[in-house]
Amino acid sequence: MTDAVALPLPPAAAQPRSRVWRDHTGLIIGGTLLGLILLASIFASYISPHDPLQQDLRNTLQPPSLAHPFGTDNFGRDIFSRVLHAAKLDLMIGFLCVLFPWMLGTALGGIAGYFGGLTDTIIMRVVDTFSAFPFLVMVIGIIAILGPGLISMYIALTLAGWSMYARLVRAEVLVVKKAEYVLAARALGYQHGRIMFRHILPNVITPTIIFAMTDMVLVILSTTSLSFLGLGVQPPMAEWGIMIAEGKGFILTAWWMVTLPGLAIVLVGLALSLLGDGIAKILRERA
């Protein structure tokens, strides 16, 4: 009988525009959203309708309106402006509290993976100890020791977060270490430092970047939670968590003090998640 191939092959056409949009919806939306938020925070002073610090005691606890898109708080301050200004602080903390663990973790993980032996064992034992505690527990614990405050929070988030990066980087370095171009570099007698920076590092960075994006969501959530509890950023700085804490006392009359600043947090988190997933997808496809 005949060799019947009943189903036609899918057409190998060029990628039309709609295809790019469909495949990378998350990435595009996330990237745009994040870009907008970043711009808004950088130009907060220019686009804020009011001065975030200005009190107007005749207009306290006003619901959202055209004049005050997010309403006013118990001091009559415009919440929308405050949210924009707080964005700068929260985003910066989010970035730095991912950057520091990333730097510390990558350095230690890279050293452990590259040199191996005793160095590796010692560093990994330390990593294991730090990893044994749940993230929030460790952060709260460190703040308990150091006392509440912005600096304590930086230290706590860094110390609680670096071990994941160390593990990730070490695993990647162990693989890359055996690659031919590394062996070639060593045969040519290059110094360790040069090999690590110019040959190994560029190739192990990618997974850490993807991880950093999800980590940033976690860090921003932690920062706002800690500030809400009074353990992180201290008033009178404008920060989303603090604003919500201030609003807690007024939920009976002014829900917008709580709900609307929180929306900012959710939007940032969503943008970062979508962006991170989208980048991960691209890198997976390319591999």
Partner 1 sequence: MNTAAFLRKRVLQTIPVLIGIVLTVFLVVRLIPGDPARIMLGMRATDEKVAELRADLGLDLPIWQQFFHFLGNILQGELGTSLFYRRDVAEVIMERLPVTVTLVVFSVVLSVLITVPLSMAAAVRQGSWIDQIVRGISTLTLSMPGFWLGLNLLILFAVIYPFFPISGFGSGFTDILWHLTLPALTITLSLAPILIRTLRASLIEIMHAPHVEYARTKGLSQGRLIRRHVLRNGLLATVTILGVNIGWLMGGSVVVETVFSLPGIGALIVSSISARDYPMIQGIALVFGLLVVVINLLTDILYSALDPRVSYD
Partner 2 sequence: MALLDIRHLTTQIPTPRGTLTVVDDVSFTVGPGECFGLVGESGSGKSMTVKSILGLIPAPGRVTGGEVLYDGKDLTRLTSKALELIRGRAIATIVQDASSALNPVLRIGNQIAESMLEHGIVRTKAQARARVIDLMAKVGIPAPETRIDDYPHQFSGGMCQRVVIAAALSCNPGLILADEPTTALDVTIQDQILKLLVSLQHDLGLGLVLVTHDMGVMAQTCQRVAVMYAGQIVETVGTADLFRQPRHPYTMGLLNCVPRLDGPAGKRLTPIPGAPPDLAHPPSGCRFHPRCPLATEACRAGKPALTEVAPGHFSRCIRQDALTATMWEGVDA
Footprint of partner 2 on this chain (CB under 8 A)?
A: 1-10
Give the residue with the Cβ less far from partner 1, 83 or 244: 244
What is the token pair recorded at 91? 């985003």
Q: Which residues contact 155 (CB under 8 A, 6 or more apart)?
A: 142, 146
CB 87 within 8 A of CB 37: yes
Report DSSP state, residue 196.
Answer: I
- ∠ at Cα 94 (90, 95), nearest 5°? 120
Give the residue with the Cβ less far from partner 2, 2 or 15: 2
Q: Of 172, 202, 205, 206, give the one whose Cα is nearest residue 280.
A: 206
Give the residue with the Cβ less far from partner 1, 49 or 134: 134
81 makes contact, choosing from partner 1, partner 2, none, with CB < 5 to 8 Å by partner type, with none
Radius of gyration, CA atoms only, the chain? 24
18 makes contact, choosing from partner 1, partner 2, none, with CB < 5 to 8 Å by partner type, with none
Task: Give the whole-angstrom CA distance, residue 166 versus residue 148.
Answer: 27
Task: Give the whole-angstrom CA distance, residue 235 versus residue 240.
Answer: 11
Does 230 participate in binding partner 1 (rule CB under 8 A)? yes
Choose one: 7-15, 58-66, 189-197, 264-272; the region binding partner 1 (CB under 8 A).
264-272
Q: Provide, rounded to whole angstroms, the least separation between the CB of residue 243 and partner 1.
A: 11
Give the residue with the Cβ less far from partner 1, 208 or 222: 222
- CA distances from residue 194 to 116, 182, 205 in whole angstroms, order as listed: 17, 11, 16
Give the residue with the Cβ less far from partner 2, 8 or 193: 8
Does 273 participate in binding partner 1 (rule CB under 8 A)? yes
CB 190 within 8 A of CB 127: no
User: How many CB atoms neighbour CB 245 within 10 A?
Assistant: 18
148 makes contact, choosing from partner 1, partner 2, none, with CB < 5 to 8 Å by partner type, with partner 1
Choose one: 87-95, 110-118, 161-169, 267-275; the region binding partner 1 (CB under 8 A).
267-275
Under rule CB under 8 A, which residues in 114-133 are in contact with partner 1? Answer: 133
What is the token pair recorded at 73? 């708080």
273 makes contact, choosing from partner 2, partner 1, none, with CB < 5 to 8 Å by partner type, with partner 1
- What residues line the site for partner 1 (CB under 8 A)? 133-137, 140-141, 143-145, 147-148, 217, 221, 224-225, 228-231, 241, 244, 247-248, 251-252, 255, 258-259, 262, 265-266, 268-270, 273
